Chains A and B, each alone.
Chain A
Amino acid sequence: MSEKNNRIPFDENNYTHNIHRNNERKLDRRGFMKTLVGAAGVFAVSSLPWGAVAAKELMGLSEKEYPHKKIADLNKIGIGEAVDFKFPGEHDDALLIRLSEEKFVAYNSACTHLQCPVFWVKEEGEMICPCHHGKFDVESGSPIAGPPRRPLPTIEVKVENGAVYAVRVKRYES
């Protein structure tokens, strides 16, 4: 019986024994392991750009320097007072606060929640966003209360020739 079933009738009429089983076990154990090694290779290659960009950031290649801009004269800002200015563009509001005789901090004053202008409250020593009552730490710009979760971008300032200059903006954290 079985012998009869296995008999190929003749070549031109071979529609019963036409399944080729050569590739039947394409994904055997070895093949699967090869896939695992290949995946490890893909991971290794794909982590290269991250490392490269991180190294670039570490070396400070991507720190963009804007033309220095004068904010205000030293004798016009009292200790604990704040000055509004625009930096780096005409429409980027920023806030300079004099904390002590020597210490100045400056931040981009658009709140990191919904871009409302943050202002400085001298009595409480905090930067407050009026829209949803977000508060920011004046030393670091990091959020301490309310909806904002990201720190305000820091603007580096420099005191030169009796005036305060804005030098560069630290990158906005995503």
Chain B
Amino acid sequence: MNRRLVNFISLLICLFLNIVFTQKMVHQFKFENYDVAIMYCVLNLIVFPIALFVFKRDEKQSEVNRREQ
């Protein structure tokens, strides 16, 4: 598959995971399962650097592609 598409879709997945984790976190907080809520909060925090990494990698790859052309 096209690399550009892979990066794009993985970013979309990151955002989707963010939404899911946020929803779960709020619900577990309301159910007073605070340890689980903290776990989802940490997961939410981890997703952001992953998204940033994918974005940077995409930037680098398109730079390489432009030089090759």
Contacts and interface: CB of A to CB of B under 8 A. Distances in A.
B29 A37 contact: no
Interface string A40-74: 11011011101101110110000000000000000
Interface string B31-60: 010110110111011011001100100110
A101 interface: no
With most chain A CB atoms within 10 A of its CB, the pick from B22, B29, B42, B44 is: B44
Contact of A173 (B15, B32, B41): B32
Bin chain B's interface residue count. Answer: 20 to 34
B21 to A, nearest CB: 7
A28 to B, nearest CB: 11
B56 to A, nearest CB: 9
Which 4 interchain pairs have the tightest Cβ spacing?
A51-B41, A44-B48, A43-B18, A40-B51
A116 interface: no
A51 B38 contact: yes
Contact of B29 (A46, A48, A53): A53
Interface of A: 29-30, 33-34, 36-37, 39-41, 43-44, 46-48, 50-51, 53-55, 57-58, 173-174
A132 to B, nearest CB: 24
B6 interface: no
Given A33-B58, A40-B48, A54 B14 contact: no
Contacts of A44: 18, 44-45, 47-48
Nearest to B62: A30
22 contacts: A29-B8, A30-B58, A33-B7, A33-B8, A33-B11, A34-B55, A36-B12, A39-B18, A40-B47, A43-B15, A43-B18, A43-B47, A47-B41, A47-B45, A48-B41, A48-B45, A51-B38, A54-B29, A54-B38, A57-B32, A57-B34, A58-B38
Contacts of A48: 41, 45
Contacts of B38: 51, 54-55, 58
A33 B55 contact: yes
Contacts of A47: 21-22, 25, 40-41, 44-45
